[in-house]
Amino acid sequence: MLYTSEALQQLIEEFAALPGIGRKTAQRLALHILKQPRDEIVQMARALVNVKDRIRYCSSCWNITEIDPCPICSSPKRDRGIVCVVEEPNDVMAVEKTNEFKGLYHVLGGSLSPLDGIGPDDLKVRELIQRMNGEVSEVILALNPNVEGEATTLYLTKLLKPLGVKVSRIARGIPVGGDLEFADEATLSRALEGRVEL
């Protein structure tokens, strides 16, 4: 008799179904929950459902938001002339963390991947093109530096350039704090290509 409680067993299954959480961690988390005050558990349960009920997609940039348009798209402080294209909402968070970028975003919802059957119509590509209405002067492509991201970058460049907007991509190179010795060849050759004059 491994579990003397069905409720506990069910919670362990729920935790174990989350990505990157194994059975042992799931068990540890469930036993931790058991020791918490009821109020806090109810609060956590509510937070779970709230995320589902309150969040939708911004009709302009397709980032997640509770109000449409999203706080970034409706902010008067943001530069409406520059749009950063990313794959997923967590990429927006990653860029926002830098405090470097003050323009708007466009979340594609993934990257082109013919092998998985993901073509331009499965991404917010048409919506991106529709945003090129003269107000936007530069598009920064910030897709993941893998095969799918590269293909998407090339595809979008071909679509955007004829519209007369400046198209750039984020630099690929040695990460800050990284070590030349441990960099792979592809990264190092991109770092050389992208060298900056001093």
Helix (H), strand (E) at residue 84? strand 82-86
Smallest gap from Cβ 165 to a second copy, in A, equals 24
Task: Please tell me the distance from the alpha carbon of residue 106 to that of residue 165, in angstroms, as a whole number.
Answer: 15
> Would you count residue 41 as binding a second copy (CB under 8 A)?
yes
Query: Looking at beta carbons only, is 56 or 158 nearer to a second copy?
Result: 56
Task: Please tell me the distance from the alpha carbon of residue 179 to that of residue 174, in angstroms, as a whole number.
Answer: 7
Report the residue from 63, 111, 152, 153 that binds a second copy according to the rule CB under 8 A.
63
Asked if 106 and 62 count as a contact pair (C-beta separation under 8 A), the reply is yes
Q: How many residues bind a second copy (CB under 8 A)?
A: 58
| Touching a second copy, residues 6-25 (CB under 8 A) | 6-8, 10-11, 13-14, 18-21, 25
> Would you count residue 154 as binding a second copy (CB under 8 A)?
no
> Would you count residue 186 as binding a second copy (CB under 8 A)?
no
Tokens of 101: 């970028």
Helix, strand, coil abundance in the chain, percent, nearest 5: 45, 10, 40
Report the residue from 22, 59, 79, 90 that binds a second copy according to the rule CB under 8 A.
90
Q: How many residues does the chain have?
A: 198
Task: Please tell me the distance from the alpha carbon of residue 18 to that of residue 21, in angstroms, as a whole number.
Answer: 6
Calculate the alpha carbon distances from 49 to 32, 46, 58, 147 in Å: 21, 5, 20, 35
Query: Looking at beta carbons only, is 75 or 189 nearer to a second copy?
Result: 75
Smallest gap from Cβ 60 to a second copy, in A, equals 12
**What is the contact surface with a second copy in residues (CB under 8 A)?**
1-8, 10-11, 13-14, 18-21, 25, 27-34, 36, 38, 41-55, 58, 63-66, 70-72, 75, 88-90, 92-93, 96-97
